Structure 1
Amino acid sequence: MTDPIAPQILIVDDARDIREPLGQYLRKQGFRTRLAAHAAEAREILAEAAIHLVVLDVMMPGEDGLSLCRWVVARGGPPVLLLTAMADETDRIVGLELGADDYLVKPFNPRELLARVRAILRRAPPELAAPPSGRRQFADWVHDPDAQHLTGADGRVVALTTAENRLLGIFLDQPRAVLSRSTLLDLTAGREAKAYDRAIDNQISRLRRKIESDPKAPQLLVTEWGGGYRLVADVTDPRA
């Protein structure tokens, strides 16, 4: 049985005969996996699941892997390992320029992919790999950063993505303080990336959909016009 706190890897590839055997192989190596056949499905998974690494095929019908890679990096998402065709050197260069962490040429040996996955996870900055430790309570929620989820007063469990988990941890560290977009970008990026002005706004919107009774009229994560965002709640130890 896979460890429930093991790193979770999202495999995005339109070829079923690649993504399913690869997912099975990585699970046997102790990882949790999610599978997506196209970019739209991958976006849905990234919005609701805690993903630590994306293994992403470049050549896919519809939205290609490079476009999805750009989207993941712009939002401060998890590291990306690209899968490229033998002849597509340009795609490999563009992918790395977009912010991908590594690439692997198809066809590949699964053991080499495993080695690259482990290397990427090892060199992930501490703020990406280890969110703030310790469960904390705010309003009607208890945040468990290690499990990357929230538990409501009614017992409902809500999964957080890696980016959401990290962002919420920052607000819980500084409750009631106004945090500017630039401050939040600096604290959440974790690796060199071009500042994307709407990245924090998008992450805030997704987080509000999970913690607010009415995300369109937020009462917990409020906007300070001209300033940034503020968590309007006291933060306590749920064991107290």
Structure 2
Amino acid sequence: MKLLVVEDEMQLADALTEILKRNMYSVDTAYDGIAGLDNALTGLYDCIILDIMLPGMNGLDVLRNMRAAKIHTPVLLLTARSEVEDKIKGLDIGADDYLTKPFVTGELLARVRALTRRKGEIVNENKMDFNGLALQKNTCSISWGGNDVKLSLKEYQIMELLIANPKQILPKERIIEKIWGYESDVEYNNIEVYISFLRKKLAVISAPVQIKTARGIGYSLE
């Protein structure tokens, strides 16, 4: 899953980014409201962690502009202010949840997991499944029929994206945007290398699952 952190306190922003990456999320970071809105309007993100007090444009205005542009990405507001009226204002504008600084990392992660669940679906937070092929978050591995193999972070993120979009062709551009970021200069051959690694690992565990190539377009999990 891809997250956006919009926070002007660089130490906090970078610490949050590192924590989220360690928990297998792909993360982009913006340090002011204008850059945050620019990122948010791409519609690439599964969740946005948004501070209220930001230079350039405050978090509430970022949120207003997002919702006006029909960007429905779940938003978790962060603020050092705990006044009830700020919480009400943020939720009324369109925030999905609210967390007051300072906060416990475990609570932040739990709130992100809650916001990124599919509505109405009961989810095992550590496992995704595709026809018996299991992607395990806590061990960063895939398994089939009692066999399992470890994945690198990028392999895990690509497999997660494929499983989340079964039998759909994911364009290479979309994969780069979701995994590396929309401003990344990553080449298509980088994706091809990781897809090759994943195919070999699927073969190692004898999984009857294929990553198919749509020539000139992208990849799908079949």
TM-score by length of 2: 0.55
Counterpart among 5, 8, 14 of residue 14 in structure 1 = 8
Tell me which residue corresponds to 2:167: 134
What displacement does 1:61 show?
A: 2.2
What displacement does 1:100 show?
A: 0.7
Q: Distance in 2 between matches of 1:160 and 1:65?
A: 27
* Identical amino acids, percent of aligned pairs: 33
Tell me which residue corresponds to 1:66: 60
Q: Tell me, yes or no, if the aligned pair for 1:51 and 1:161 is still in contact at 8 Å.
A: no
Q: Distance in 1 between matches of 2:106 and 2:32?
A: 24
Q: Distance in 2 between matches of 1:31 and 1:132?
A: 17
Q: Distance in 1 between matches of 2:175 and 2:66?
A: 18
What displacement does 1:47 show?
A: 4.2
Alignment map for 1:210-225 (pairs within 5 Å) = none
Counterpart among 59, 65, 71 of residue 76 in structure 1 = 71
Tell me which residue corresponds to 1:167: none
Alignment map for 1:84-233 (pairs within 5 Å) = 84-124=79-119, 133-135=166-168, 144=170, 150-151=171-172, 157=173
What displacement does 1:49 show?
A: 6.7
Q: Which amino acid aligns with 2:47?
A: L
Tell me which residue corresponds to 2:125: none
Tell me the secondary structure at the aligned position of residue 21 of structure 1.
helix
Tell me which residue corresponds to 1:46: 40
Q: Which amino acid aligns with 1:16?
A: M
Tell me the secondary structure at the aligned position of residue 51 of structure 1.
coil
| Unmatched 5+ stretches in structure 2 | 122-160, 179-212, 216-222
| Unmatched 5+ stretches in structure 1 | 1-6, 136-142, 145-149, 152-156, 163-236
Q: Which amino acid aligns with 1:106?
A: K
Distance verdict in 2 for CA 1:24–1:238, change over 3 Å: closer
Tell me the secondary structure at the aligned position of residue 11 of structure 1.
strand
* CA distances 1:139-178 after superposition (whole Å, capped 9, x unpaired): xxxx51xxxxx34xxxxx356989xxxxxxxxxxxxxxxx
Distance verdict in 2 for CA 1:125–1:35, change over 3 Å: farther
Distance verdict in 2 for CA 1:123–1:92, change over 3 Å: farther
Tell me which residue corresponds to 1:223: none
Q: Which amino acid aligns with 2:49?
A: V
TM-score by length of 1: 0.51
Q: Tell me, yes or no, if the aligned pair for 2:77 and 2:99 is still in contact at 8 Å.
A: yes
Q: Distance in 1 between matches of 2:8 and 2:26?
A: 20
Tell me the secondary structure at the aligned position of residue 57 of structure 2.
coil
Tell me the secondary structure at the aligned position of residue 61 of structure 1.
coil
Two-structure CA RMSD over aligned residues (Å)? 2.9
Q: Which amino acid aligns with 1:53?
A: C
